[in-house]
Amino acid sequence: MGIVVSNLTKKYGTQKAIDNISFEVKTGEILGFLGPNGAGKTTTMKIITCYMAPNEGDVKVNGISIRENPEEIKRNIGYLPESNPLYYDMPVLEYLEYVAKLQNVPQPEIPGRIKEMVKVCGLDVEKHKKIGELSKGYRQRVGLAQAMIHDPEILILDEPTTGLDPNQIVEIRKLIRELGREKTVILSTHILPEVEATSDRIMIINEGKIVADGTAETLRKQAQGTEVLKIQIEEAANRDEVFSALMNLDTVDLVDPVPDNDFAFLINSKENISSRKAVFKLCVENNWVLTELTPLETKLEDIFRELTTK
Amino acid sequence: MKAIWVIAKKEFSTFFDSLAAYILLVVFLGLSGFFTWLYGSDIFFIGQATLQPFFGVAYWTLFFFIPALTMKMLAEEKRSGTIELLLTKPVTDWQVVAGKFLAAFLLILVALLLTLPYYITLNFIGNVDHGAVWSGYFGMLLMSMAYISIGLFASSITNNQIVAFLLSLFIGVFFLIIFNVLANSFTGDTALLFNYLSLSTHYDSISRGVIDSRDLIYFLSLTFFGLLLAETALAKRNIVE
């Protein structure tokens, strides 16, 4: 089931939480929603899950508008809200049963679904405890279990890995990846490696507007434009000689000496050309020993910072 | 309809999980039993086989107890954020309010059923006016419905349980006493209006054994109106200017 968001605007008072955003999520796609706090991630999710009505624009899930038939849409969505609210005085199993019934899971299937969720989310040890007695990580698992109990076509997870320890984070990411093969998943986070690890597509949102949209690679290319190489040379006689030789290469735009190291340089290539071969040949011709040749990638962190701090 | 029942069942078992139900039942039965059988103008003091003393006590105990039951029902969900969880399931705002109403009503029903032994005992003591007893119970149920809906409305507009409790008492006092007082101090149409609004007037006429459609309509519309306001308060998040 696909989601089509068109021209969505939501105001709180006079402040625009999201400002005329449009995007599309296809079936089986995992969309990572990135953005600083207050960027509008949660608001967008609340609108897609039919919790709040937008001021303008529309969301269509599987062709059904949130304004027409929210009940039908809610049936196909599993939602884990941001702060993972739960009924602390309810035991885990009872709570899952309650949610299953609310989601109209047919009565005979309920025990099987609960069993599966307990297994998938690793709740077996804690399943008889009250939710309030669980640690934060286990509560988060209960939150995930209730979101998936009715085997929804669409999963919307608002910061699904907060409060989990590193092992659990790996497990949950794996789970999301697996789910994402058949289901449509939107997850929000501000942990950057997480989106890279889980998502097919990354969307960065800032101050209510989409500032970047694409796979991790396309975002990198967009942000970087030109190739940057870090090289290190040993046993060369003269630093200036090396420097000027590098500068004279056709493909090279700019050479920066690295401050603390005499024979290390940062080479910026001209647009859309790689200087790797030329640098290697130059070293061979001059009998310089090339000990390092690393293309520098712009990190997702840098892209994120650049796009969201202007 | 199914969703209402699912929510009602969950709320009902929450009452019993949190001790609230036991405390309410014990105190309700204790107070009403004490004043019906043992103290003050009890049945033996009056010397008549009537449940009037019981209804007199229950009238006031329910006035305080129902707000205590309903105060957390929506306020707590809003405070803890679970309302978001609930409303993103395939249920409507109305089903949530109706489910909670039903749960509170069932608990009051249980409380009143547990007082039936009073009635049975009384049957052994003397000739009971059966009509008066049943209409008394009927009036209690109608009044409880109205209080529950007022309580749910109060709970729907705040995140704070105490505020919800006090607010529903405040609104309750108007219907129970103040409208009646106003009706007596005005004349003409104003007096009639306040007299109509006063809950105690309608309750009195039902508990006397006169079941008039006007009283029924009064209680049912008061209940419906309270629930409608509660639903509106929940749906406020959807309002866009």
Per-residue pLDDT, A237: 66
Assess contact for A230 and A42: CB atoms under 8 A.
no
> Tens of pLDDT along A158-184?
988 877 788 888 888 888 888 888 889
| CATH 3.40.630.30 is held by the domain A225-297 | no
Contact residues on chain A for B239, CB-CB shorter than 8 A: 53
Give residues with Cβ within 8 angstroms of A4, minimum separation 6.
Answer: A24, A59, A60, A61
Q: What is the pLDDT of residue B150?
A: 96
Q: What is the mean pLDDT of residues A285-308?
A: 78
**Averaged pLDDT, A75-87:** 91
User: CA A179 → CA A152, A224, A250, B111, distances in Å?
Assistant: 10, 32, 49, 48
pLDDT at A236 over 80: no
Q: What is the share, in percent, of chain A residues with pLDDT greater than 90?
A: 26
A223 — pLDDT class (breaks 50, 70, 90): low
CA distance B158 to B74: 8
Spell out which residues of chain B touch residue A146, defining contact as CB-CB under 8 Å.
Answer: 85
Q: Which residues in A lie closer than 8 A to residue B14 (C-beta atoms)?
A: 87, 89-90
Distance CA A300, CA A198 (A): 14
Q: How confident is the model at residue B113 (pLDDT cuts 50, 70, 90)?
A: very high
Both structure tokens of A74: 């809610």
Cβ distance of B89 and A85 shorter than 8 Å: no
Where do the domains of chain A lie? 3-221, 225-297
Cβ neighbors of B212 (< 8 A, separation 6 or more) are B205, B206
- CB contacts of B85 in chain A (<8 Å) are 79, 81, 85-86, 146
Q: Report pLDDT digits (tens) over A196-206.
A: 888 889 898 88
Measuring CA to CA, how many Å separate B236 from each of B43, B152, B155, B171? 50, 15, 14, 21
pLDDT at B38: 83
The predicted structure's pLDDT at residue B240? 67
CB-based contact B90 A71, cutoff 8 Å: yes
Question: Is the pLDDT at B119 greater than 70, yes or no?
Answer: yes
Give the closest of A53, A85, A90 to B84, CB-based: A85
A53 to chain B, minimum CA–CA distance in Å? 5
pLDDT at A225: 63
CB contact under 8 A, A52 and B237: yes
Chain A's closest residue to B99, CA to CA, is: A102
Distance from CA of B3 to the nearest CA of A (A): 6
CA distance A67 to chain B (A): 11
At residue A181, the pLDDT reads 83
Q: pLDDT tens digit string along B132-171?
A: 888 999 999 999 999 999 999 999 999 999 999 999 999 9
DSSP label of B115 = T
Q: Kindly state the percentage of chain B with pLDDT values over 70.
A: 99
Beta partners for residue A204, in sequence order: A34, A212
pLDDT at A127: 87
Distance CA A68, CA A61 (A): 11
Q: Of A3-7, A254-258, B104-108, which one has max mean pLDDT?
A: B104-108
Q: Which of A97, A101, A159 to mutate to test the interface with B (most CBs of B within 10 A)?
A: A101
* Rounded CA Rg of chain B: 19
Say whether pLDDT at A13 is over 90: no
| Chain A CB contacts of B90 below 8 Å | 71-72, 74-75, 102-104
Classified by CATH at the fold level, domain A3-221 comes out as: Rossmann fold (3.40.50)
Of the segments A7-16, A276-285, B96-105, B171-180, which one has the largest average pLDDT value? B96-105
Query: Does position A40 have pLDDT exceeding 90, yes or no?
Result: no
pLDDT at B82 (0 to 100): 93
For residue A199, which amino acid is it? Answer: S
pTM here is 0.85
pLDDT value at residue A246: 81
Q: What is the pLDDT of residue B229?
A: 95
Query: Please, which pLDDT band fits residue B241 given cuts at 50, 70 and 90?
Result: low
Asked, colleague to colleague, whether A3-221 and A225-297 share their fold, the answer is no
pLDDT at B74 over 70: yes
CB contact burial B84-111 (16+ within 10 A = b; e otherwise) = bbbbbbbbbbbbbbbbbbbbbbebbeeb
Lowest mean pLDDT, pick from A65-74, A218-227, B10-19, B202-211: A218-227
Interface residue ranges in chain B relative to chain A, Cβ cutoff 8 Å? 2-3, 6-7, 10, 14, 17-18, 80-82, 84-92, 237-241
